[in-house]
Chain A
Amino acid sequence: MFALDNESIIGVQNLTKAFGNFVAVDNITFGVKKGEIFGLLGPNGAGKSTVIRILSTLTRPTKGTATIGGFDVVKQDNEVRKLIGIVSEKMIMYNRLTARENLWFFGTLFGMQKEELNRRIDELLELVQLTKWGKTQVGKFSTGMKQKMNIIRALLNMPQVLFLDEPTLGLDPQSTVEIREFIRKLNQEHGTTVLITTHMMSEADLLCDQIGIIDHGKIVALDTSTNLKNAIAGANTTILTLEIANLTPDLLTTVRALKCVETVSQENSSHMKIHAHGEGAFDSIIDAIRANKGNIISMQNIQPTLEDVFLHITGREVRETADQKIPLAEHPRSGHGFGNSSRGRGR
């Protein structure tokens, strides 16, 4: 289903990475075309970061191969390094160095010459409007400014492929929008191929040409955002939120027990969101609520989002509030992600 072709600038074939007994990346295969924005979507611990670390030569795969621009990430790692830029979750910069010094340091490691590097630094600082902060130590920057620095650092060597690992994590809404705009601009104006990981469905929806949904180290779906959404809309799936005045745990349990219902989640004290499938699902849900003296105030049938796609495919929600047909009171809150938290983080 995910066949590789010659157009792919990133080619991943049967890639597996195991840390001891824990398989972080489980036999995945996919390709990214030149000039594409490819999103790896999945909850924390799904193996997104590990994929990026392997592709950027930071970690060796246990099995399988990966190529960037035709170069093998293991055997020709230094060739690969010349083609790529990486923005990892952790900020790659030294707080006690100024913005310019940081860029200068990393630029020289790429073998860039003095004039060329100076020009490039001016250009990049201008691009993210940090020119007047060039001589300020990065430690004094705000998180948003730091993330901009983090991104332009990855662009020093004019990479053909840019890896972005959760680039908007922990940013305020304004910075988030700015960073997203910047990524889009980079892709459109310079034709940079972008591989971005995110656990935010909306971000993937907004940015990506292709989306790979990754869960427990496996790619479970790969297509454009629209196709993914259409796929579940046509799959006889009903998604609705109900506002109920007297929403009780008992009522939730009753609805959850229905055969047609896949998942139920409580949004707040009066709203619940239901995923169901099959003919007549809608009727049986309403009947069940009425039979239990549920007082329905309002009801909304929802257009599927990527989040629903994820839910449909994995049977779980990405957000932590998701539940998997388990009583709300016993829902585990600990751990990093969702669902089977005992698996820990894949890294």
Chain B
Amino acid sequence: MKMRGKTLMSNSLRIAWKDLIELFRNRLGLVMLILMPIFMMGMVGFIFPSNNSLNHVSVALINQDAGFSGSTIGSQVFLTALNGINNQTGMLDISNATTIDALKESVQKGDIQGGIVIPSNFTQCLLSGQQGTLIIVTDNSNPQISAAMQSALTAVFQQMGTMLAQQKVITLNPALNATSALAIVQPYNIQVEGVVSGHTSYFDFIAPGIMAMTVMMSVMTGLPAAISQEKEVGTLDGMMVAPINRLSIIVGKTLAQTARGLLQGVIILILASVLFGVHIQGSILLVFGLLLLGVFSFVGLGVVLTSFAKDQETAMMIMMTLMFPMMFLSGVFFPVQQMPWYMQDISKVLPLTYAADALRKVMVLGAGIPQITTELTVLIVFGVVMTAIAVPVFKRAMTR
């Protein structure tokens, strides 16, 4: 028994060795292997919006303020504040327009993305003890920009409103200083503090996810691809007529694919920290341990797919069909919490979700094993169940 295990392992290693030689002699393939994670990181990291990514939004301003007793102090203060804030952030490109109709037409043409309208009674309302109303015109066809603009402008108005209120409180009670006046107007102040110190970016969020995805996918897709390719070329027969345990073929192939996946994982890790400034808070060993566990949880699935795919083309089709939902539903690119509840439910049954989650906790939050026991359990259980299904299925498929 022990002897057989040893032969199984040494035959597996031979097959893995053979696969890796083939991999490293395929120059173009090797270049792609390295380029893929670079593209992935670069692309995903740069196209998704981060905090201050919205800038140079062109808006038109219409000032219809008719004034009150000859004074337009309300709109003047507003404009000064708006320009002041905008000079700092550079968020808006402000132009002037004359009528609301002209403004709407410009939005329709696509010249501007929205507008701010100061109504004629703006100063009048402010000076006669009423609320001043401002109108924001948005482009309905682009909800994302319109929402971002809306929230940004709202913040500007809020800030200005606070300033005005603060001044009024001081006028009412000159005994108060500016700080106390602010405390009356805005009793709550919010301060954001992360679990770990320092600034984190979107890269910190996606790097662990992409790592988990790349490594696990390489096993899930690489295994069926590699075996169905050998089946098609005919070389698989060469291994099948050798007096070896069928399992060593699958184990050997898995080892080779795991090595390939880990290589890509390392590339991502290096890129993430060198190019994209990602800090790894937790233990590197735990990171690799998690990646290996992720591989284990996916091997069974890969083997089952291998058994069903008759040729490479079918294998690729099955892969694609499974890969896309997994990529997008596992919280690799977007937080799972953003999704509707039914999608979140699907996400909960995908092992990639747990691997990405655990990896993120370790890499970004510096978690240790005690903090990720749930994820570890799910991955182990999934792996064991899938492997238990896969082995008999594979053995049957190989001797049809």
B241 at interface by CB-CB < 8 Å: yes
B243 pairs with A82, CB closer than 8 A: yes
* Residues of chain A from 67 to 93 with CB closer than 8 A to chain B in the complex: 78-79, 81-82, 84-86, 88-93
* Given contacts A81-B241, A109-B244, A97 and B234 within 8 Å (CB-CB): no
A96 pairs with B26, CB closer than 8 A: yes
Interface string of A104-141 (1 = CB under 8 A from B): 01101111000000000000000000000000010000
B239 at interface by CB-CB < 8 Å: yes
A110 pairs with B237, CB closer than 8 A: no
Q: Give complex CA distance A85, B241 in Å.
A: 8
B242 at interface by CB-CB < 8 Å: yes
B241 pairs with A60, CB closer than 8 A: no
A92 pairs with B399, CB closer than 8 A: no
Interface string of B172-184 (1 = CB under 8 A from A): 0000000000000
Residues of B within 8 A of A101 (CB): 18, 21
Instruction: Give the nearest-CB partner of A163 in chain B.
Output: B241
Q: Which of A86, A93, A111 contacts B243 (CB 8 A)?
A: A111
Residues of B within 8 A of A96 (CB): 21-22, 25-26
B241 pairs with A90, CB closer than 8 A: no
B18, B25, B26 — most chain A CB neighbours (10 Å): B18
B237 pairs with A109, CB closer than 8 A: no
A58 at interface by CB-CB < 8 Å: yes
A56 at interface by CB-CB < 8 Å: yes
Sorting the interface of chain B by its residue count into under 10, 10 to 19, 20 to 34 or 35 or more gives 20 to 34
B11 at interface by CB-CB < 8 Å: yes
B243 pairs with A92, CB closer than 8 A: no
A229 at interface by CB-CB < 8 Å: no
Q: Give complex CA distance A59, B238 in Å.
A: 13
Q: Give complex CA distance A110, B240 in Å.
A: 11
A92 pairs with B22, CB closer than 8 A: no
* Residues of chain B from 311 to 341 with CB closer than 8 A to chain A in the complex: none
Name the distance in Å between B245's Cβ and chain A's nearest Cβ: 9
Name the distance in Å between A21's Cβ and chain B's nearest Cβ: 16
Q: Give complex CA distance A101, B241 in Å.
A: 18
Q: Give complex CA distance A90, B237 in Å.
A: 9
Name the distance in Å between A286's Cβ and chain B's nearest Cβ: 52
B18 pairs with A97, CB closer than 8 A: yes
Name the distance in Å between A94's Cβ and chain B's nearest Cβ: 6
Q: Which of B233, B235, B243, B399 contacts A81 (CB 8 A)?
A: B243
A153 at interface by CB-CB < 8 Å: yes
Interface string of A318-331 (1 = CB under 8 A from B): 00000000000000
Q: Give complex CA distance A92, B11 in Å.
A: 18
A29 at interface by CB-CB < 8 Å: no
A105 pairs with B237, CB closer than 8 A: no
Instruction: Give the nearest-CB partner of B399 in chain A.
Output: A60
B11 pairs with A109, CB closer than 8 A: yes
B199 at interface by CB-CB < 8 Å: no
B400 at interface by CB-CB < 8 Å: yes
A92 pairs with B234, CB closer than 8 A: yes
B14, B241, B244 — most chain A CB neighbours (10 Å): B241
B21 pairs with A90, CB closer than 8 A: no
Q: Give complex CA distance A81, B18 in Å.
A: 21
Instruction: Give the nearest-CB partner of A90 in chain B.
Output: B234
Instruction: Give the nearest-CB partner of B396 in chain A.
Output: A60
Q: Give complex CA distance A93, B233 in Å.
A: 9
Instruction: Give the nearest-CB partner of B235 in chain A.
Output: A92
Residues of B within 8 A of A89 (CB): 234
Residues of B within 8 A of A110 (CB): 242-243
Instruction: Give the nearest-CB partner of A92 in chain B.
Output: B238
* Residues of chain B from 121 to 137 with CB closer than 8 A to chain A in the complex: none
B241 pairs with A57, CB closer than 8 A: yes
* Residues of chain B from 162 to 217 with CB closer than 8 A to chain A in the complex: none
A105 pairs with B14, CB closer than 8 A: yes
B22 pairs with A97, CB closer than 8 A: yes
B14 pairs with A108, CB closer than 8 A: yes
* Residues of chain B from 231 to 255 with CB closer than 8 A to chain A in the complex: 233-235, 237-244
A58 pairs with B25, CB closer than 8 A: no
Name the distance in Å between A256's Cβ and chain B's nearest Cβ: 42
Q: Give complex CA distance A86, B241 in Å.
A: 8
A153 pairs with B400, CB closer than 8 A: no
Q: Which of B18, B237, B400 contacts A88 (CB 8 A)?
A: B237
Q: Which of A88, A94, A97, A109 contacts B14 (CB 8 A)?
A: A109
Instruction: Give the nearest-CB partner of A110 in chain B.
Output: B242
Name the distance in Å between A120's Cβ and chain B's nearest Cβ: 15
Name the distance in Å between A277's Cβ and chain B's nearest Cβ: 43
Q: Give complex CA distance A63, B217 in Å.
A: 40
B241 pairs with A58, CB closer than 8 A: yes
A90 pairs with B233, CB closer than 8 A: yes
Interface string of B9-27 (1 = CB under 8 A from A): 0010010001001100110
Q: Give complex CA distance A101, B19 in Å.
A: 12
Name the distance in Å between B11's Cβ and chain A's nearest Cβ: 6
Residues of A within 8 A of B14 (CB): 105, 108-109
Instruction: Give the nearest-CB partner of A79 in chain B.
Output: B243
Name the distance in Å between B228's Cβ and chain A's nearest Cβ: 14
A56 pairs with B243, CB closer than 8 A: no
Q: Which of A56, A97, A111, A153 contacts B21 (CB 8 A)?
A: A97
Q: Give complex CA distance A82, B244 in Å.
A: 10
* Given contacts A93-B235, A108-B14, A109-B14, A56 and B22 within 8 Å (CB-CB): no
* Given contacts A96-B25, A105-B18, A88 and B234 within 8 Å (CB-CB): yes
Q: Give complex CA distance A153, B234 in Å.
A: 14
Residues of A within 8 A of B400 (CB): 59-60
B234 pairs with A109, CB closer than 8 A: no
A56, A58, A85 — most chain B CB neighbours (10 Å): A58
* Residues of chain A from 42 to 72 with CB closer than 8 A to chain B in the complex: 56-60
B21 pairs with A81, CB closer than 8 A: no
Q: Which of A58, A97, A137 contacts B237 (CB 8 A)?
A: A58
B243 pairs with A106, CB closer than 8 A: no
- Listed by A's residue number, 19 A-B pairs whose Cβ atoms lie within 8 Å are A56-B241, A57-B240, A57-B399, A59-B399, A78-B243, A81-B241, A81-B242, A88-B234, A88-B237, A92-B235, A92-B238, A94-B18, A94-B235, A96-B21, A96-B22, A97-B22, A101-B18, A106-B238, A111-B243
Q: Given A60-B400, A81-B242, A101-B18, list of 11 further CB < 8 A pairs?
A: A56-B241, A90-B235, A91-B233, A91-B234, A93-B235, A93-B238, A97-B21, A106-B242, A109-B242, A109-B243, A137-B25
Report, nearest first, the 8 A-B pairs whose CB atoms are least far apart: A90-B234, A92-B238, A109-B242, A81-B243, A78-B243, A96-B25, A96-B22, A105-B18
